[in-house]
Amino acid sequence: MPHPDAPSLVLPPPPAAGRVWVAFSGGLDSTVLLHRLAQDPAVRRQGLHAIHVHHGLQPDAEAWAAHCEAQCLSLEVPLQVHRMRVDMAAGDGVEAAARRARHAAFKEAMQAGDIIALAHHRDDQAETFLLRALRASGPEGLAAMRPCRAFGTGWLWRPLLDTPRSTLESYARAASLSWIEDPSNAGTAFDRNFLRHEVLPLLRARWPHADAALARSAALNADAAGLLARQDRDLLARAATADPAALQVEALRDAGAAARARALRHWIDGLSLPPLPAEGVVRIDAHLLDARADAHAEFAWHGAVVRRWRGLLHAERRRPALPADWQVDWDGAAPLALPDGGIVSLEDQGAPFDVPLRLTARRGGERIALPGRAHRHALKDVLQSLGIPPWERRQLPLLWRGDALWAAGDLVLSADCDAWLRTAGRRLTWRRG
């Protein structure tokens, strides 16, 4: 138990009623957090656990894991040790790669509603704010770390975010706690360590309240980011269509440039596409929003593309057209993989094709006999009337029975195809790559 003179460390309540997992490195901060939560009967009742991620990046990693096991045993807190491989392939540095490994371990341990408790404190928040400012971040970035946010199937919780590190040190000494000192924290090669050892001590010497002021600025930016996020949602709601990947140009044009830029980035992020660069916002404003109604203007970046067509902006991952000379025979017995990653298949049980079909890419000039029509129609006109965008038409596989066009993907069925599917009790499907 802590000494009577130790800081009280009053913590906010957990954000949910699930199990609480302390991310336990064995360092000072997480040691204090684990010890403090272990003294809380309510958290104990929820189910208090610890998780230690063994990165294998330090020579003493095995000894650190053993230290964590001993500490958890003394506190009667169950511990999971996750040995993770740190994947450096992304090329964004060892700190980011190790963080990804930790987060993967957390998600592996969690069940629905569980809480991962992290020991970030006010000094960490000040460092994060400065790092984000030096990267020219906007309000979302300058909000730095949030006290609580959704994560995996539950929550990330930072109950010490308003607590100075000096308070944690006082608590640890009064409680006679032992902890690990990570030697990598002493160097200044990493940006965060440079701020911690070189920059922030200078700031504190001139402005003793520097950490509190920087943390307060982060909180104010979090408030501003929340207001802006609501504005983004309102604009996207006005521009929305039945397709989440399409927005109405007119509604976007009516908004101010700054609000439009934020909404476009929010939209792209919601589609799980690569972040829209600043150049993309400029290009969309200059070339897509004011393009002619019949224009096929677009902006592409990192495998994604935004296109304007018929008064809408469409966003998606860039997909290749089918090769012009591609063709293959298909008997319908199994799904057919297309060169662009798409799939054509016959769903439901029923009769197979009596004669194999031939599949090709579009080459222009095709005509199709539609159900209930006396004459054949140009496929181009049919696709236009259905509102199929030009880029989707380039990916559309054509199915032929002899010399007659039987179907264009599952978008246009000939009279013969429609009748055969009904009789056979089958359904033709085309899934884009």
Question: Residues annotated in the binding site for ATP, as ranges?
Answer: 25-30
* DSSP-assigned states of every residue in 354-405: SS-EEEE---S--EEE-TT-SSEEEHHHHHHHTT--HHHHTTPPEEEETTEE
Take residue 156 and report the two structure tokens written for it. Answer: 């990330």
Take residue 59 and report the two structure tokens written for it. Answer: 């020579």
CB within 8 Å of 276: residues ≥ 6 apart: 264, 265, 268, 301, 306
- Asked whether the beta carbons of 407 and 399 are under 8 A apart, the reply is yes
Cα gap 216→219, rounded to integer Å: 5
H or E, element range at 185: none
Closest C-alpha to 157, from 2, 10, 7, 11: 11
Pair type for strands 304-309 and 312-317 = antiparallel
- Asked whether the beta carbons of 120 and 160 are under 8 A apart, the reply is yes
Q: Which residues are annotated as a binding site?
A: 25-30
CB within 8 Å of 329: residues ≥ 6 apart: 356, 357, 358, 359
Q: Give residue 48's identity as a one-letter amino acid code.
A: L
Cβ-count burial of 208 within 10 angstroms (0-12 exposed, 13-18 middle, 19+ buried)?
exposed
φ, ψ for residue 309 (rounded to 5)?
-160, 130
Q: What's the full length of the chain, in residues? A: 433
Query: In what order do the strands lie in the sheet containing 154-157?
Result: 79-83, 48-54, 20-23, 115-117, 154-157, 148-151
Neighbours of 274 (CB within 10 A): 13
